[in-house]
Structure 1
Amino acid sequence: MHTFFAPDLSGSTYTLPEDESKHAVRVLRLAPGDAVELLDGRGGLYAAAVAEANPKRCQLRITGHTHEAPRSHFTHVAVAPTKNLDRMEWFVEKAVEVGVERISFLRCARSERRELKLERLEKIAISALKQSGQAWLPQLDELQDFGAFVAGVAPETTYIAHLEEGERTALAQVAGAGPGCCVLIGPEGDFSPQEIALALARGIRPVTLGASRLRTETAALGAVFTAQLVRA
């Protein structure tokens, strides 16, 4: 069944935006009476049927509605975006498919990417939401400085995955200890010693994702996957 994203859905009918209407009618060849599914990204799952197959204003009639409660365990990953944006796009797509509630982007001392536009990443997140059937669209946060970010998190549920020497706990051992977790993933050159010290001084605990040295986007996805396995 074809799925559409309807963030502003209310009432018993919904009209697809023009680009989605054209895709539904001209590409998918949907006709009156055909069944479709709508997601609002806020837990709402809607059954619908095509009422008017207009390529500019395809109107749908809502035939059913269920609501999925938020997950009991909240997964938040804060990652320094890579210079090659394709790798961050891949991460966002896969993280949404696996299940993540929030993604923040960090500007670190060793970051190669200092600016980030969310529009493209938000579209990828919506596409992954529709493909995977997830009911909740993750929150994507604007790029912000590492220091400002760590000053605003709850240290008791926040962990930093760094490569410096020292004692680190496996993320799988601690990710399920509370109602949620936030994992910090640094740039390709890792967090700077000063950033690590700042995080530890805030009470943020160091963790490891395993023995391998992972790329930034792989480490970020590994953190999401680990948190999902722990709470399953």
Structure 2
Amino acid sequence: MNLFYNPDISVEDTRFSFDRDESRHIVKVLRKKEGDHIHLTNGNGRIFEAEITLADIKHCTAKITEKTQQPPRDYSLHLAVAPTKMNDRYEWFLEKATEIGVDEITPVICSHSERTKIKPERLEKIIQSAMKQSLSAYLPKLNPAVPLHEFLQEERQGQMFIAHCEEEKERFFLQQKIIPGQKVTILIGPEGDFSEKEIALALDKAYIPVSLGNTRLRTETAAIVACHTVALTNQKT
């Protein structure tokens, strides 16, 4: 099954036209013909099955034959992760977190951040590609990068955690604190970790200090471990 993404498709639509790039991919790469079926999503949980009516490499069209709603997860996860020094590591994190299950991502700029700017257009494409690859109908929301102190000023519901590496400070293992079915926000710092002032500010905002294991992890690895821990805790048996 191949899943295509377009945010503009709605439940009222009965037909759909693909842009030039997707038309070429459908006809030239996937070798789809008139009468073949494909699947689309708008990123909001809807999956549309469509039959190709015109297999043209410049203007492929299809009629929608079935509409379904993919069930949402029982929990929601917001990862606030400092940009990594190397762009490809942050891109890897976004790809894998999308595959595992994340609802919202905010790049946070910290005192020890070596990178303070991101390229949202490229990151959005990576998230979209990972959503399609994993056959998910929900597109994670990528927020603009913000300073950590601004992020901490926003009120949030559910459980809130900060994963830091200060061993002399009290921390709990994340898997011991996660409550299934909750909204979860997790802060992941840069390569140089959060500053003491940032940790204190997060704790003052009721963030729970957590550890992700007995070894020190890179930023992108820590984010994936946190994402996977939340997913496993919420997995139904």
Common fold by TM > 0.5: yes
Q: Deviations over 1:3-30 (max 9, x none)?
A: 2112111311111111111111122221
Which aligned runs of 4 or more in structure 1 are off by greater than 6 angstroms? none
- 1:172 equivalent in alignment to 2:175: yes
| Aligned-partner SS, 1:142 | coil
Q: CA deviation at 1:203?
A: 1.4
2:117 paired residue among 115, 134, 143: 115
For residues 147-226 of structure 1, what are the structure 2 equivalents within 5 Å? 147-154=149-156, 157-164=159-166, 165-176=168-179, 179-226=182-229
Q: Deviations over 1:159-211 (max 9, x none)?
A: 00001121111111122256221010000000011101111111111011011
Tell which deviates more after alignment, 173-182 or 139-148. Answer: 173-182
| Aligned-partner SS, 1:100 | coil
5+ residue gaps, structure 1, are none
Tell which deviates more after alignment, 96-105 or 150-159. Answer: 150-159
- 1:93 equivalent in alignment to 2:95: yes
Q: Deviations over 1:59-94 (max 9, x none)?
A: 011111110233221111100010100001100000
Letter in 2 for 1:29: R
What is the match of residue 227 of structure 1? 230
What is the match of residue 68 of structure 2? 66
- The answer to whether the 8 Å contact 1:156/1:204 transfers is no
TM-score, with normalisation over the residues of structure 1?
Answer: 0.96
What is the match of residue 56 of structure 1? 58
Q: CA deviation at 1:36?
A: 0.8
What is the match of residue 4 of structure 1? 4
What is the match of residue 124 of structure 1? 126
- The answer to whether the 8 Å contact 2:162/2:210 transfers is yes
1:27–1:91 CA distance, 2 compared to 1 (3 A): same
- The answer to whether the 8 Å contact 2:40/2:48 transfers is yes
CA distance, structure 1, for counterparts of residue 180 and residue 99 of structure 2? 23
